[in-house]
Amino acid sequence: MAIKARFRVLIFLLSICLSSTIWAQTTNYKTINKDGKNFYLYEVGPAEGFYSLTHKFNVTQSEIEKYNPETKAGLKNGQKLLIPVKAQSVTPKINPNTGTSFMHTVEAGETLSSIARTYGISVDEILAYNQGLTPSLTIGHSIIIPQPSLVTSGSDNTYVYHTITPKETLFSVAKQYNVSMNQIMDENPGLNDKTFSIGKIIRIKPNTKESVMRTTVEEKTVMQTYEVKRKETFYSISKKFNIPVEDLIAANPEIQKVKSGELINIPSLKTDTIKSIGVDKIQDMFNILTEPTIIDKKGSMKIAIMLPLQLDNINQDNSLQARYIEFYQGFLLAVDSLKSNGLSFDIFVYDTSTKPISQIIKEPNVEAADLIIGPATNEDVAVVSEFAKTKNINMVSPFTFEAESASANPNLFQLNTPSSYLNSETAMEFSNMFKDQNIVFIKERSKPADKKEFLDYLRSDLTARNIKFYDYEFNESDEITKVDSILNIKGDIVFIPQSVKQADLGIILPSLLILKKNNPGLNISVFGFPEWQQFANNFMEHFYELNTYIFSRIYVNPFSEETKRFNNKFQYWYGKEMMFLYPRYGMVGFDTGMYFLTALNRYGRNFENHIDMQPAGSIQTAICFKRINNWSGFINRCIYFVNFRPNGTIEKIIVK
């Protein structure tokens, strides 16, 4: 065990804190009993549709129509309804570990499939343990997860999952499962003082033998005395000495409340405890912890890049081939920028279209690499991910969207945000930003809404927060110019056109401009989708005048100086302009190179331990990485809210 890895156990023991629990909200409507069945009495609000009701009461549209036949013709403002009362599950305040199951608290972006994948079980198994659970998960809700059966033969692939409960420490959990604290830390690379909190889950390989060699802090502690100062409490003293408050209370069992001038015991580690885990260079460890720029001075950093370049058949008309070539060209511009700062790199490029990935990973320079970038397909990423995990090499997946490999490999960084996380994070940020405005979803009546997954997330989040919204459908464009009077809206309005099509925006945006001009005192904003930036040039003036927001994980401001400098440099080096694509692959390559090569240089091969300290400085891509869980790899959780402001400027707001 490396010195750094071992010493973090000692630091970790002194910094664990507890987190607060999340309480579920309940709705309160008048109920009646009819024919032995309970119903809510509910009055339909303005522009309220079936979607809102089904999510508010956890019922289906057919159930509403069954007890309210008149609703088959549609819902009307002020209409009285009978809504069947469903049995509600209770979310426990504390997540207990029962042995056969444990509790999982739903986080933003998680789905039943991703949760099942995290714990290596099926969706059907989760549903069997949670009667009435639907695919529409609520953030903060606790669900029961069946615990995998223990294999007493000690299979390396067998884990149990533990939900942290109040007053537990790393030491107490290690003792419970008869393992060392270092083992738990190694099996959960994302475990730290922020993630060791009530409700968080860690995975453990229990030791089925009678004993195991481990560091036992409680058996090897000494006490120093301390005189309590005026106004000090157990809590403030624990912070002063950087120890858990429960350890301080346990060291002074006879004291209920500390008093000024009183002598109390302060537990501290003995020197032989440090020696027992193999740490004998204390000064070196403190240097590691306090030195933020650890650079390996021995030679160049070795980078292996795997791309389907099809170099044996260069075809100017092959746009897919051209994208990966442009990615590599952009990456080389990042290398050039960093080399001018005195850094040195050895770049090894492997064409995955001419050689099987199974052979590429056997190349000596791949095995010796400090960082792997690519490959392009989910299948190839899965193969390289297993290899990188075995060799403890960090790898970057710049092109894939699915999180399977990142779920299984703590060394993998996925640049693209999976859609469920992107939609969930965007919905929450939208609710935070526009909660005090009138929110209107708008579309042409004869056309289906685009981006249904995101719109479902957004409506669900608004409903959960009791934020009112309207659904408005129009037949003729001139109806849009009267929407405020039709819906009787007072105050600021944010419109969400439910389309990513240029032709639809060509109808909606000009109509909203007329509405704005006819009502000078009306503040209007428009909220749109990533696809809008593909034809932003055609609607730029509309975007500005309507104070438009677009959410996206990527955005290039065509008017910024950094964009102009990059475009000029790319054209100078390669004698051509980048393809006008969404995204710009040359910029993806540049952003990837700048971010990860800087991290590799600054923090060494194990830069994942410092990734939260690495600034992005991107031209196109919003970058901030977070582990999916304590033992997984990283996915990019950053998005942009791009605001086209009425003063003619563009602001990229980074949402983390």
pLDDT of residue 295: 34
pLDDT of residue 152: 39
Contact yes or no for 113/135 (Cβ under 8 A)? no
Summarised one tens digit per residue, pLDDT across range 482-522 is: 887 888 888 899 999 999 999 999 999 999 999 999 888 88
Confidence category of residue 157, pLDDT binned at 50, 70, 90: low
Distance CA 205, CA 150 (A): 9
pLDDT of residue 61: 80
Distance CA 409, CA 192 (A): 18
Average pLDDT score over residue span 130-151: 77
Distance CA 633, CA 394 (A): 10
Distance CA 357, CA 308 (A): 10
Summarised one tens digit per residue, pLDDT across range 214-223 is: 333 333 455 6
Contact yes or no for 340/594 (Cβ under 8 A)? no
Q: By mean pLDDT, which of 156-170, 282-296, 344-358, 408-422 is the weakest?
A: 282-296
Whether 155 has a pLDDT exceeding 60, the answer reads: no
Instruction: From residue 134, give the alpha-carbon distance in Å to each of 46, 89, 275.
Output: 27, 12, 52
Q: By mean pLDDT, which of 239-253, 444-458, 478-492 is the weakest?
A: 239-253
CA 134 to chain centre: 22
Contact yes or no for 174/9 (Cβ under 8 A)? no
Q: Where are the beta strands (DSSP E) in 31-183?
A: 31-34, 37-43, 80-84, 101-105, 142-146, 160-163
Return the bridge partners of 320, or none: none
pLDDT of residue 352: 93
Contact yes or no for 656/641 (Cβ under 8 A)? no
Confidence category of residue 606, pLDDT binned at 50, 70, 90: confident
Alpha helices in 450-501, H assignment, sequence order: 452-464, 483-486
Q: Where are the beta strands (DSSP E) in 507-588?
A: 524-528, 548-552
CA 28 to chain centre: 33
Instruction: From residue 642, give the alpha-carbon distance in Å to each of 93, 208, 375, 442.
Output: 39, 54, 30, 20
Whether 86 has a pLDDT exceeding 90, the answer reads: no
Backbone φ, ψ for residue 105 (5° rounding): -95, 125
Distance CA 326, CA 570 (A): 10
Q: By mean pLDDT, which of 126-135, 187-196, 268-277, 530-539 is the weakest?
A: 268-277
Q: β-pairing, 394-397 with 371-373?
A: parallel
Distance CA 368, CA 361 (A): 10
Q: How many helices (H) and strands (E) does the chain have?
A: 23, 23
Distance CA 7, CA 285 (A): 7
Summarised one tens digit per residue, pLDDT across range 303-333 is: 999 999 887 777 666 678 889 999 999 999 9
pLDDT of residue 47: 66
pLDDT of residue 1: 41
Backbone φ, ψ for residue 303 (5° rounding): -120, 125
Distance CA 215, CA 469 (A): 56
Q: By mean pLDDT, which of 236-250, 544-558, 636-650 is the weakest?
A: 236-250
Confidence category of residue 149, pLDDT binned at 50, 70, 90: low
Distance CA 77, CA 56 (A): 17
Specify the pTM: 0.70
DSSP states of 135-172: SS--TT-EEEEEPPPP-TTT-TT--EEEE--TT--HHH
Whether 89 has a pLDDT exceeding 70, the answer reads: no
**Most confident region among 172-181, 271-280, 590-599 by mean pLDDT:** 590-599
Summarised one tens digit per residue, pLDDT across range 348-406 is: 999 999 899 999 999 999 999 999 999 999 999 999 999 999 999 999 999 998 888 88
Distance CA 542, CA 537 (A): 10
Summarised one tens digit per residue, pLDDT across range 339-354 is: 877 778 889 999 999 8
Which bin fits 166, alpha (ψ -120 to 50), beta or left (φ > 0)?
Answer: beta
Confidence category of residue 102, pLDDT binned at 50, 70, 90: confident
Identify the three-state secondary structure at position 15. coil
Residues 6+ apart with CB under 8 A from 58: 86, 132, 134
Summarised one tens digit per residue, pLDDT across range 169-189 is: 888 888 888 888 888 888 898
Backbone φ, ψ for residue 632 (5° rounding): -95, -175
pLDDT of residue 274: 27
Instruction: From residue 395, give the alpha-carbon distance in Å to each of 351, 383, 458, 559, 597.
Output: 17, 12, 33, 33, 12
DSSP states of 302-325: EEEEEE---TTS--TT-HHHHHHH
- The H-or-E segment that residue 327 falls in is helix 319-339
Confidence category of residue 55, pLDDT binned at 50, 70, 90: low
pLDDT of residue 98: 56
pLDDT of residue 240: 80
Distance CA 628, CA 421 (A): 10
Confidence category of residue 643, pLDDT binned at 50, 70, 90: very high
pLDDT of residue 652: 92
Tell me the one-letter amino acid at 562.
Answer: E
Share above pLDDT 70 across residues of the chain, in percent, rounded to a whole number:
83
User: What value does the mean pLDDT of the chain take?
Assistant: 80
Summarised one tens digit per residue, pLDDT across range 612-623 is: 777 777 899 999
Distance CA 437, CA 427 (A): 15
Confidence category of residue 213, pLDDT binned at 50, 70, 90: very low
Identify the three-state secondary structure at position 186. helix
Whether 29 has a pLDDT exceeding 80, the answer reads: no
Domains along the chain with CATH numbers: 3-20+91-204 (3.10.350.10), 31-84 (3.10.350.10), 218-276 (3.10.350.10), 301-417+562-639 (3.40.50.2300), 422-530 (3.40.50.2300)
Residues 6+ apart with CB under 8 A from 186: 5
- The H-or-E segment that residue 512 falls in is helix 502-518
How open is the CA angle 121-413-368, to the nearest 5 degrees? 110
Average pLDDT score over residue span 70-97: 68
Contact yes or no for 489/438 (Cβ under 8 A)? yes
Higher-confidence position of 143 and 386:
386
pLDDT of residue 245: 76
HSE (CB half, 13 Å, CA atoms) of 90?
3
Confidence category of residue 268, pLDDT binned at 50, 70, 90: low
Whether 46 has a pLDDT exceeding 80, the answer reads: no
Contact yes or no for 6/284 (Cβ under 8 A)? no
Contact yes or no for 459/469 (Cβ under 8 A)? yes
Whether 8 has a pLDDT exceeding 70, the answer reads: no
